[in-house]
Amino acid sequence: MSTHKPGEAPPRHFLTGSELSASELSRLLARASELKRSRRQRGRGDGALVGRSVALVFERPSTRTRVSFELAAVELGAHPVVLRGDELQLARGESIRDTALVLSRYVDLIAVRTARHAALDELARWSSVPVVNLLSDDYHPCQALADLLTLYERFGELAGLPVAWVGDGNNVAHSLMLAGAVAGLDLRVATPAELAPAAAVVETSRSLLPPGGRLLITTDPQVAVTGARAVYTDVWVSMGREDDAERRRQLLAPYRVDEELLAAAADDAVALHCLPAHPDEEISASVLYGPRSAVWDQAENRLHAQKALLELLIEGV
């Protein structure tokens, strides 16, 4: 059951990274680049969403997502309503369904950072406005948009671009696989067998690949990195995985992104990391802060990619 009125198009949600078509993704990245240039040249405002409002719900700590999404709304002219999880009646037992039905009457988009992805699916089921995943245990699609924008800026053409993911097959990897498949990347994912990406995500990602796109799943970081134009990693112990920290560090030790591993990549390869980082654990400090790092561009690009996403979901442009 949905809650949109008869004759109205259902809302567009962004929950995993697979929701955009190839043409929509291409337009979004081009628009994000335009918004980035205009912010630097003519000031910070755009006004495309004047009179609109967005609810930003954070059940988990956040730095980049909180700041970039709030600024994205403000700079487009929308009003952000920022809420912690304990500020909602959800914390006292109100249902997700009721929360969706109420918030949909107030705002033009609901964005949530939470642990359980099923809660986002339930929210989207009952919401009559777009729902955006700001991070869940299973996916991090807004990060994937920033990743693709960073690669687009550096290399231009994404189709066939060799990109290596090295480390844990986690939520960030899942959304990179899905959005990267839509973009047509040559994506190589190297993880320990025990921390491989979910089989269902691998299957869905492969179904999204256009001709020339590729998704390789391997346990060998050298195989993934050889000839890659970008080498991407993430923390070894994500939020909610602290009880398994020591096992993860042992499994992931061979997957550290350092100068030795990066030497197998293309001469113009860049290093990527979604942050927060633990220098000299999953990535060497010299790579993270060195000349081949595109990490800080990635972090900035959260703002610009999310602006374009807000325009697309709210205004349909």
Retrieve residue 40's tokens.
């630097």
pLDDT (tens place) for every residue of the chain, 317 residues total: 345 554 577 999 999 999 999 999 999 999 999 999 998 776 555 689 999 999 999 999 899 999 999 999 999 999 999 998 888 887 778 999 999 999 999 999 999 999 999 999 999 999 999 999 999 999 999 999 999 999 999 999 999 999 999 999 999 999 999 999 999 999 999 999 999 999 999 999 999 999 989 999 999 999 999 999 999 999 998 766 777 889 999 999 999 999 999 999 999 999 999 999 999 999 999 999 999 999 999 999 999 999 999 999 999 87
Catalytic residue, candidates 140, 229, 248, 292: 140
Query: How many CB atoms within 10 Å of residue 47?
Result: 10
Domain that holds residue 65: 22-139+302-315
Residue 140 annotated among the catalytic residues of the structure: yes
Residue 142 annotated among the catalytic residues of the structure: no
Give the pLDDT score at 89: 83
Residue 143 annotated among the catalytic residues of the structure: yes
In a domain, 266, yes or no: yes
Same structural domain, 93 and 148:
no
Determine contact, residues 268/162, Cβ cutoff 8 Å: no
Residue 302 annotated among the catalytic residues of the structure: yes
Same structural domain, 76 and 149:
no
In a domain, 14, yes or no: no
Same structural domain, 27 and 96:
yes
In a domain, 16, yes or no: no
Retrieve residue 38's tokens.
């205009």
Same structural domain, 182 and 286:
yes
Give the pLDDT score at 36: 96
Same structural domain, 195 and 274:
yes
Give the pLDDT score at 1: 37
Alpha-carbon distance of 124 to 136, in angstroms, equals 14
Of all residues in the chain, what percent are helix, strand and coil, respectively (each to 5)? 45, 15, 35
Catalytic residue, candidates 46, 138, 168, 234: 234
Same structural domain, 57 and 190:
no
Catalytic residue, candidates 12, 229, 274, 306: 274
Same structural domain, 309 and 242:
no
Same structural domain, 151 and 244:
yes
Same structural domain, 291 and 154:
yes
In a domain, 5, yes or no: no
CATH number, residue 276: 3.40.50.1370
111 φ, ψ (degrees, to nearest 5): -120, 135
Alpha-carbon distance of 272 to 151, in angstroms, equals 10
Determine contact, residues 259/291, Cβ cutoff 8 Å: no
Mean pLDDT estimate for the chain: 94
Same structural domain, 286 and 310:
no
Catalytic residue, candidates 113, 188, 248, 292: 113
Same structural domain, 76 and 153:
no
Same structural domain, 242 and 268:
yes
Give the pLDDT score at 212: 87
- The pTM of the full predicted model, rounded to 2 decimals, is 0.95
Give the pLDDT score at 5: 55
How many Cα atoms occupy the beta-carbon half-sphere of 185 within 13 Å? 30
Catalytic residue, candidates 138, 143, 229, 304: 143
Catalytic residue, candidates 117, 302, 304, 306: 302
Give the pLDDT score at 9: 79
Q: What's the total number of domains in the chain? A: 2
User: Which one, of 294, 271, 300, lies nearest residue 284 by Cα?
Assistant: 271
Give the pLDDT score at 45: 59
Query: How many CB atoms within 10 Å of residue 281?
Result: 16
